[in-house]
Structure 1
Amino acid sequence: MMGRMKKIVLVLLAVILILPSFLTTASTNDSNAKENKTESESVGKIGSKDEVIYANLSATGERQEIYVVNTLEIDEPGKVTDYGTYSSLKNLTNLTEMTYENDQVMFTADKGKFYYQGNMVDQALPWDISIDYLLDGEKIAPSELAGKDGQVQIRMNTSANETINSVFFENYLLQVSLTLNSDLFTNIRAEEGTIANAGKNKQVTFTVMPEKEEELVLEADVVGFELDGIEISGVPSSMPIEKPDVNEMTDDMRTLSDAISDLNDGVEDFKEGVSELNSGVVELQDGSKQYKDGIVELDDGSSNLVDGSKEIEEALNTMSNSLDGLEELDFSSMEDLANGLTLTVDGLREISQGLENLKENYVIAYGALDGAIEDMPLYNITQEDFDELYESGANQEVIAQLEETYHKSVAVKLTYGEVKAAFDAVEGSLEGVIKAINDMANNMDEMASGVSASLKDMESLNDLTLLQEGIAELAKNYQSFHDGLVQYTGGVGELSDSYKELHSGIVDLSDGTNELEDGAVELHEGTTELHEETSNLPDQMTEEIDEMMSDYDKSDFEAVSFISAKNEQINTVQFVFKTESIQYEEPEVVEVVEEEEKGFWAKLKDLFS
C-alpha cells in the first residue's frame, strides 16, 4: 500500500513541475495561433489581372469545353476575392484551399503572382465560328473526310455573337492558323491568307480585323486527308498603328489631278474649236444650198436655152436661105433675131452673176470651215490613257462620252483631210463655169449688136448682099456655137447631179458637227465636274487614309473582364481556341489463329496447372 502511495506522490510532483512550463507553452502557442489567424484573415489587394480563355471546339466549330486561366498580381498579401461563374476550380500556384460561393472565388495569397484555373459550362464565346469541309465540290462530314483524296476546300466563317458583350468583337482581331502536312497537301491556295514554311509543313494564317465578319477559304489538293486542330486566337487590337508614308502616293494623285485639269482645259479648247467648226459648217451649208439651188435652176433652164439656141439656128438658116431672094426678104425676122439674142445675153449674165455670188459665199463659208477644222487639236490619246481614266474612279458615263467624242473628232479631221482637195476644186470649177458663161454672153452680145447695126445701116442692095453673106456666115458658124452650148448644158446637168450628192454630204457633215458640238459641251461639263471633284484629290485621299486608320486604331482601348463585370484592374484578356484534329485510323485487322487439337498428356497437364 505504501509503495503505491509513493508512486502517486511522485507522479503528482512530476505534474506539478511540468505544468507551469506546459501552461507557458500553451499560452505561447495560443498567442501565436491568434496572431497567425489575424494575419491570415487580413484583406489582400489585387494589382492587376490577366485572363486567358481556352476553348476546345469540334472540327466544325461547335464549342465543347471552355476554361479560364487567371493570373493575378497580388500587391498586398491576405485574403483575396475574385469573381466568375465556374463549374470547378483548380489552384495552379500552391496547395492553398480555395472557396467558391455566389460567383465569388476566395483564397489567401502571398505577394506576387497567383494562378488558378476555372472551368466553365455553357459559356458562350464572343464569336460564332462554323467550319465546313468540301471534297471535290461536295460538302462532307469531317469524320468521313479523313483519309480521302481529292480537291479539298475548307470554309471558316466568323461572325459576332450578339449575346456577348460586343466590346470583344469590336476591339479584338482574330488570327486563324492551319498547319498542313506538305506530304499530304499540295497546290495550297488561300486568297485572304498568308502561306509560310514551317519545317516540312505549310503554315496558313488568316487575320480577321475588329468589327468584321469574314468567310475564310483554303483550297488544296490532298492525298489521305488528315488535319491537326485549327488554332484561333483573339487578341486586342490595341497597338497604335503608325500612319504610312503616302507622300509618293499623294504626289501621284496630284499628278493625276493636274492631268485632269489639263485635260479639262484641252476639252474646253476642243469645245470652242468644235463650236467654230460647227458655225463654219453651217455657213458652208447655207452657201452650198444657194449654189445647189442656182445650179439646179441653171440646169432646169438649160433645156430652154438649148431650145432657144435651136430656134436661133433655124432662124439663121431660114434667113440665109431667104436672102437668096432679096425681093421677098422679111426684115422683121432680123429684128426678132436681135431681140432673142439680147434676151439670151441678159439671161446668161444673170446666171453668171448668180454663180459669182455663189462663189463668194462658198469661199467665205469654206474659209471658216477650213480654219475651224485646221484649229481642231489632234491629241494622241491612247486606249491606255482612257483605261487609266476609267480606273481613276471618275464618272464612267462622262469618260465614255469623252472617248466617243474624241474618236468622232479624229474621224472628222481625217475625213476632211481626204476630201479637202474636192472642196478646193469647187472654187476653180465655179470660176471656169462663170468664165464660159461670160464668154458666151459676150459672143452673143456682139452677135446681137451686129445684127441690129446691120438692120440700121442697110441702104442699098449692096448692103443687103453684105447682110446676106454675113447671115450665111453666121448661120454656118452658129452650128458650132450651138453644139458647144449643148455640151455646156450637159456639163451643167452632170454638175447639178454631182453637186446634189456633195451638198447632201455637207448637210450630213453639218448634222455631225452639230452633234459633235453638243457632245463637246456635255464632255466639257463632265470634265469640269471631274476636275472640281479631283482638284483636291491628294487632301481627300489623305483624309480617307486618316479615317481608315482611325477605324483600326484601338490604342485607347481599355480591357474588360470576360468572366465577370465585377473584376477590376484588368490588364489583358486573350482567347485561345483549337478545333479537334481529324485523323485517319487504319482499320484493325483481326487475325484468326486456329488452335491445334491438344493431345492426352497436354490435357492432363492443363488439369494440374
Structure 2
Amino acid sequence: MNMKRVTITFIASLLLIPTFALATSGESDSDESSSSQLHGEGSFSEKHEVIYATLNAFGEQDGMYVVNQFNVTKPGEMIDFGHYESVHNLTNLEDIKLHDEEVMFTALEDEFYYQGNLNGQPLPWTVDLEYTLDGEVVNPHDIAGEDGQLAIKIKTSANEEVNPVFYDHYLLQVTLNLDSEIYHAIEAEDGTVASAGKNKQVTFTVMPGEDEQFVVEADVINFEFDGVEIAALPSSMSVDDPETDEMQDEMRSLSDGIADLYDGVTDLRDGVVDLNDGVVELHDGSGDYLDGVRELDDGSTDLVEGSQSIGDALQEISSGFELDDNMDTSDLEELEQGLREIAGGLYEVEDGLWQLRDHYNQAYDALDDAIADIPRSDLSEEEIQSLYMSGADSDILDELVDTYIAAQTVQGTYDAVGEAFEAVSPTLLDVSESLHEMATNLELMADELAASMDDLDFADDLAELESGLNELANQYGDFHAGLVDYTGGVGELSSAYSDIHEGISELNDGTFELEDGVDELHDGTGELAEETSDLPEQMQSEIDNMMNDFDHSDFEPVSFVSERNDKVETVQFVIQSGSITIDDDEESGEVEEEEKGIWERFLDLFR
C-alpha cells in the first residue's frame, strides 16, 4: 500500500512539472541567464542533418522533420537556423528556443541533438507512385486484401522549387520490402531482388542528376504494402581512374585497322572502276560480236541458197553433158560460159565469207579482250564473310558480291563455249578456201574446154571433162551438205549468244551501280577513318568525362533547412511512403485503448 502511494505521488509530481515550470518562468530565465554567464558562447566542429519525410501512398508529401546533430567542441550557448514550425530538444530537458528562423540552445555534452519540424517545405525530388491491378490503374486503398497481378510504378524527378544541389549530387536508393506470403513471382527490371529473412527486398538506384522510372511486378494474394523507402545520400565517393593503357593500345589497333580498311576500300574502288571500264568494253565487244554472229546467221540463208543454185547448176551440167559425135561447138561454148559463171559466183561467195570472217574476228577479239580484262579471282566463303564482318555497308557488299558472281559466271560461260567461238573463224577460212579451190577448178575446166575446142581431135579431152564434171558435182553435194550443217550451227550460236549478251548487259548495269555504291562506301570509310584517327584520345576524353560525372568527391554539403548554417558536414534524407493495410476491427482498437493504464498513457507522452 505504501509503495502504491509513493508511485502515485511520483507520477503526480511529474505531471505537475509543466505547471511548475510556467509558474517559475522568471526563475528559469534567471537560471538560463546564470547558465549563459556560466558557460558563455559555445562552439561546434561540424553539424549533421537528417531529414525525415513521409509521403502518402501516391508519393505526395505529408510531413517532414529534421534531426540536427552537433559535435560540440566548447559547451555553451549556440544558434542554429531553419524554417521550423517547432523544435524539440532530443538531448536533455534543457529548454530550446525558436524565434523566427533562429534556434537557440545550450549544448553541454560532446554531442547535441534537436528536432525541427517543417511545414510545407518541399523535398528536392518529386515522387509519383502508381498502382495497377490486373492491368487497371487503381487506388491502392481500394485493393487492400485483393488478389491479382500487381504492378507498382515508381517515378522520381527533380523538384524545380528546391536548390538543385541535392538533385545533382545525391544518389537515391529506393527500397521495397515485400512479404513473401503476399508477393510471388516478383519481377523488377533494373532492380535487385534479394532475400531479407522470409521476405524479399527490391532495391533500385537513381544516379545523381537523373530522372528515373521503375516498375515492380508480382502476383499478390491478400494485398498489403509497407510502402516505399527512399534513402538519399551524397555521391561523394572518389572514383579512381581506370587503367586504360591496354584499352588504348586496342583502340589504336582499331583506328589503324579502320585506316587500313579505308586503304583497302580505296583499292577496291579503283578495282571496281577498272572492272566497270572492262565490263563496258565487254558489253561493247559483245554487242559487236552479237551483230557479227547475227549477220553471219542472216547471210547463211543467202549462202545456202547460192550454194544450192551452184550445186543444181553443176548437177544439171553434169547430167546434161553427154559425148556425141554430132555435138555442136556452140553447146560447148555455152558450157564454158556456164562454168565461168559458176566460178565467178563461187568467188563472190568466197569474198562475202572473207568479209564476214573479218567482221567476226574483230568482234571476237573485242569480246575476248574484254572478258580477259575481268579480274580472275577465287574468293572463299570465309573471305566473303570476313568482308561482311568488317562493318562495311551490307547493301553495297551485296551488290559487290552479286557483281562478282555475275562476272565469274560470264567468265565461266565464256570458257565453256570458247571452243565454239574459236571454231567459227577457222571454219569460215576452210569454207572460203574450199570455195576458192572449186572456183579455180571450174575456171581451169573452162580454160581447158576452150583450148580443146580448137583441137579437131578432142574426144579424149571431152571424156575427161565429163568425168571431172561428174566428180565436181558429187563433191559439191558433200560440200553443200556440210555448209548447211555449218550454217545451222551458226544459227544456234546466234540464238545462244543472245542470252549471253543479255547477261553481259545486266552485268554492265550492275557494275555501274556497284561503282556508285563503292564510291559511297569509299566516302563513308574515309569519313570514318578521319573521325577515328584519334580514337584513343577520344576514348580517354569520354572516360574522363564519364568519371567526372560519377566523381562527386569535391562536393561541399550545404544545409537543407537554411543557407545561413555553416560547418555542415553531412545532409541525409530518409523518405517513407504510406503503407496500405487491411483495416483492423475498430472495436478491438477501442478495447485496446480502454485497457491502457495510467503508466502506459504516461509513457505515450514521451513516445
**Normalising to structure 2: TM-score of the pair?**
0.82
Greater alpha carbon shift after TM alignment, 578-587 vs 202-211: 578-587
Instruction: State the identity %.
Output: 43
Equivalence for 1:405? 399
Structure 1 residues 477-501: Cα deviation after superposition (integer angstroms, max 9, x where no partner): 3222223222322222222222222
Equivalence for 1:539? 537
Residues 349 and 441 in structure 1, CA contact (< 8 A), matched pair in contact too: no
Residues 559 and 565 in structure 2, CA contact (< 8 A), matched pair in contact too: yes
Q: Distance in 2 between matches of 1:574 and 1:85?
A: 17
For 2:163, give the aligned amino acid.
N
CA gap of 1:37–1:322, structure 2 versus 1, over 3 A, is: closer
1:452 Cα deviation after fit? 4.6
2:372 pairs with 1:367: yes
Equivalence for 2:496? 498
Q: Distance in 2 between matches of 1:227 and 1:251?
A: 53
Query: In the alignment, which of 424, 437, 441 is matched to residue 443 of structure 1?
Result: 437
CA gap of 1:360–1:65, structure 2 versus 1, over 3 A, is: closer
2:335 pairs with 1:338: no
2:205 pairs with 1:211: no
1:99 Cα deviation after fit? 1.7
Q: Distance in 1 between matches of 2:36 and 2:67?
A: 30
CA gap of 1:48–1:226, structure 2 versus 1, over 3 A, is: same
Name the SS for the 1:108 alignment partner. strand
1:239 Cα deviation after fit? 1.5
CA gap of 1:529–1:198, structure 2 versus 1, over 3 A, is: same
CA gap of 1:388–1:300, structure 2 versus 1, over 3 A, is: closer
Name the SS for the 1:573 alignment partner. strand
Q: Distance in 1 between matches of 2:390 and 2:581?
A: 52
Equivalence for 2:547? 549
Name the SS for the 1:233 alignment partner. strand
Structure 1 residues 357-389: Cα deviation after superposition (integer angstroms, max 9, x where no partner): 3343333223222xx1x1475462576985784
Structure 1 residues 30-54: Cα deviation after superposition (integer angstroms, max 9, x where no partner): xx99994672473222332111111
Equivalence for 2:93? 95
Equivalence for 2:598? none
Equivalence for 2:580? 582
- Which structure 1 segments of 5+ residues have no match? 1-31, 390-397, 591-609
2:471 pairs with 1:477: no
Q: Distance in 1 between matches of 2:237 and 2:84?
A: 31
Q: Distance in 2 between matches of 1:551 and 1:332?
A: 111
Equivalence for 1:313? 311
* Superposed counterparts of 1:167-182, under 5 Å: 167-182=165-180
Equivalence for 2:427? 433
Structure 1 residues 145-192: Cα deviation after superposition (integer angstroms, max 9, x where no partner): 222212111111111111111111111111111111222222111112
Name the SS for the 1:225 alignment partner. coil
2:460 pairs with 1:466: no
Equivalence for 1:327? 329
CA gap of 1:235–1:541, structure 2 versus 1, over 3 A, is: same
Q: Distance in 2 between matches of 1:384 and 1:320?
A: 76
Greater alpha carbon shift after TM alignment, 237-246 vs 262-271: 262-271
Name the SS for the 2:494 alignment partner. helix
For 2:428, give the aligned amino acid.
I
* Superposed counterparts of 1:41-440, under 5 Å: 42-110=40-108, 112-246=110-244, 249-250=247-248, 253-321=251-319, 323-324=321-322, 325-329=327-331, 330=334, 331-369=336-374, 372=375, 374-375=376-377, 377-378=379-380, 380=382, 386=388, 389=391, 399-412=393-406, 415-416=409-410, 418-440=412-434
Greater alpha carbon shift after TM alignment, 225-234 vs 571-580: 225-234
Residues 99 and 107 in structure 1, CA contact (< 8 A), matched pair in contact too: yes
CA gap of 1:67–1:523, structure 2 versus 1, over 3 A, is: same
Name the SS for the 2:114 alignment partner. strand
Residues 268 and 524 in structure 1, CA contact (< 8 A), matched pair in contact too: yes
Q: Distance in 2 between matches of 1:513 and 1:38?
A: 99
Q: How many residues align?
A: 548
CA gap of 1:433–1:524, structure 2 versus 1, over 3 A, is: farther
For 2:354, give the aligned amino acid.
R
Name the SS for the 2:94 alignment partner. coil
Q: Distance in 1 between matches of 2:419 and 2:47?
A: 99
Equivalence for 2:562? 564
* RMSD over aligned Cα atoms: 2.9
1:409 Cα deviation after fit? 4.2
1:552 Cα deviation after fit? 2.2
Q: Distance in 2 between matches of 1:557 and 1:133?
A: 36
Name the SS for the 1:480 alignment partner. helix
Equivalence for 2:20? none
- Which structure 2 segments of 5+ residues have no match? 1-29, 589-607
For 2:405, give the aligned amino acid.
A
Residues 403 and 510 in structure 2, CA contact (< 8 A), matched pair in contact too: no
Residues 40 and 108 in structure 1, CA contact (< 8 A), matched pair in contact too: no
Greater alpha carbon shift after TM alignment, 82-91 vs 419-428: 419-428
Structure 1 residues 458-484: Cα deviation after superposition (integer angstroms, max 9, x where no partner): 332333443333223323432222232
Greater alpha carbon shift after TM alignment, 196-205 vs 319-328: 319-328
CA gap of 1:588–1:444, structure 2 versus 1, over 3 A, is: farther
Residues 153 and 213 in structure 2, CA contact (< 8 A), matched pair in contact too: yes
Q: Distance in 2 between matches of 1:410 and 1:334?
A: 59
Q: Distance in 1 between matches of 2:407 and 2:302?
A: 43
Q: Distance in 2 between matches of 1:381 and 1:307?
A: 57
Q: Distance in 2 between matches of 1:151 and 1:255?
A: 52
Q: Distance in 2 between matches of 1:154 and 1:137?
A: 11
Name the SS for the 1:147 alignment partner. coil
Q: Distance in 1 between matches of 2:282 and 2:439?
A: 35
Q: Distance in 1 between matches of 2:410 and 2:353?
A: 34
Residues 410 and 504 in structure 2, CA contact (< 8 A), matched pair in contact too: no
CA gap of 1:491–1:280, structure 2 versus 1, over 3 A, is: same
1:578 Cα deviation after fit? 1.0
Q: Distance in 2 between matches of 1:230 and 1:249?
A: 42
Equivalence for 2:591? none
Q: Distance in 1 between matches of 2:138 and 2:203?
A: 23
Residues 87 and 117 in structure 2, CA contact (< 8 A), matched pair in contact too: yes
Equivalence for 1:524? 522
For 1:124, give the aligned amino acid.
P
Q: Distance in 1 between matches of 2:574 and 2:528?
A: 50
Q: Distance in 2 between matches of 1:112 and 1:482?
A: 131
Q: Distance in 1 between matches of 2:301 and 2:285?
A: 25
1:304 Cα deviation after fit? 2.0
Query: In the alignment, which of 489, 498, 501 is matched to residue 487 of structure 2?
Result: 489
For 1:327, give the aligned amino acid.
T
Name the SS for the 1:124 alignment partner. coil
Q: Distance in 1 between matches of 2:102 and 2:189?
A: 47
Greater alpha carbon shift after TM alignment, 202-211 vs 294-303: 294-303
CA gap of 1:230–1:276, structure 2 versus 1, over 3 A, is: same
CA gap of 1:441–1:519, structure 2 versus 1, over 3 A, is: farther
Structure 1 residues 40-73: Cα deviation after superposition (integer angstroms, max 9, x where no partner): 4732223321111111221221222211111122
Residues 53 and 575 in structure 2, CA contact (< 8 A), matched pair in contact too: yes
Q: Distance in 2 between matches of 1:156 and 1:555?
A: 29
For 1:400, give the aligned amino acid.
S
